[in-house]
Amino acid sequence: MTVVIRYFANLRELRGTSQESREISPGSTAASLYRDLGLPLELPVAFAVNQERVAGATLLSDGDEVVFLPPLGGG
Amino acid sequence: MLRFGADAIDVAAVEAAVTSSTQGAILVFSGVARDHNLGKGVSGLHYEAYEPMALAELGKIAAEVAERWPDTKLAIVHRLGAVAIGEASVVIAVGSPHRAAAYEASRYAIDELKARVPVWKRESYADGTAWIANRS
């Protein structure tokens, strides 16, 4: 299974890219993917899959677009 | 009118988008880049968005406003990219038959935007930059 991950703000700078594809194993969740990528656990991220906000425990499917949302700063 | 754009916001156009002969109150809120935050001098702002989701979220907020304050009209324009000190980063206009609903809907829209819409802000200082989260 492959998912596309898009990065924004400090996560984009940290990762050095705004988008990547990643092979995941069945049973992977949004939160487990975040951990597996070695992204900072102290950052209170929220999760979006296919542009919908989801819980970290949400199972990922082939072709999903995953975004980790760092704390928002709009307005 | 719900959109993101890189150019300076045309406030009159946002206002015009909610103006009609049925509206007795037009309220325009501008969020403006200020030159200090948390005790530090700020020299400029930069915004980025997860744009498709951000637009969808603005649409949800507009639908909620339409449901809670039925006869209002709402317009929101938010900047992306560089925003200079003194420029508006966001403009929200509400048209309403009466003022009470306009004030309530405007406050609801900006509060929900800050809490829900996937937009991020980087401040520039004399000595560097930082991504700044909204306070809840």
**Mean pLDDT, range A12-36, rounded to an integer:** 97
pLDDT band at residue B109 under the 50/70/90 scheme: very high
Residue A49 lies inside a defined structural domain of this protein: yes
Return the pLDDT at A41. Answer: 96
Number of domains in chain B: 1
- In angstroms, the CA A66 to CA B52 distance is 13
**Mean pLDDT, range B102-109, rounded to an integer:** 98
Alpha helix ranges (H) inside chain A: 9-15, 30-36
Residue B135 lies inside a defined structural domain of this protein: no
Return the pLDDT at A18. Answer: 98
Q: Which two tokens stand for residue B90?
A: 């966001």
The ipTM, to two decimals, is: 0.94
Cβ neighbours of B50 in A, within 8 Å? 6, 8, 48, 51, 67, 69
- Considering only CB atoms, B131 lies closest to which of A10, A48, A74, namely A10
Q: What is the mean pLDDT of chain A?
A: 97
Contacts of the segment A38-42: beta carbons below 8 A, 24+ positions apart: A39/A11, A39/A14, A39/A15, A39/A68, A40/A14
CATH number at residue B89: 3.90.1170.40
Is the CB of B6 inside 8 Å of chain A's CB atoms?
Answer: no
Q: What is the mean pLDDT of chain B?
A: 97
pLDDT surpassing 70 at residue B136: no
Question: What is the span of the domain harbouring residue A39?
Answer: 2-69
Residue A34 lies inside a defined structural domain of this protein: yes
Residue B52 lies inside a defined structural domain of this protein: yes
Residue A74 lies inside a defined structural domain of this protein: no
Residue B136 lies inside a defined structural domain of this protein: no
Residue B91 lies inside a defined structural domain of this protein: yes
Q: What percent of chain B has pLDDT over 90?
A: 98
CB contact under 8 A, A75 and B49: no
For B65-98, the pLDDT digits (tens) are 999 999 999 999 999 999 999 999 999 999 999 9
Residue A33 lies inside a defined structural domain of this protein: yes
Q: Which two tokens stand for residue B74?
A: 């709402």
Number of domains in chain A: 1
Residue A75 lies inside a defined structural domain of this protein: no
CB contact under 8 A, B119 and A70: no
Contact status, residue A47 vs residue A60, Cβ threshold 8 Å: no
Question: What is the span of the domain harbouring residue B68?
Answer: 2-130
Residue B68 lies inside a defined structural domain of this protein: yes
Return the pLDDT at B135. Answer: 84
CATH number at residue A48: 3.10.20.30
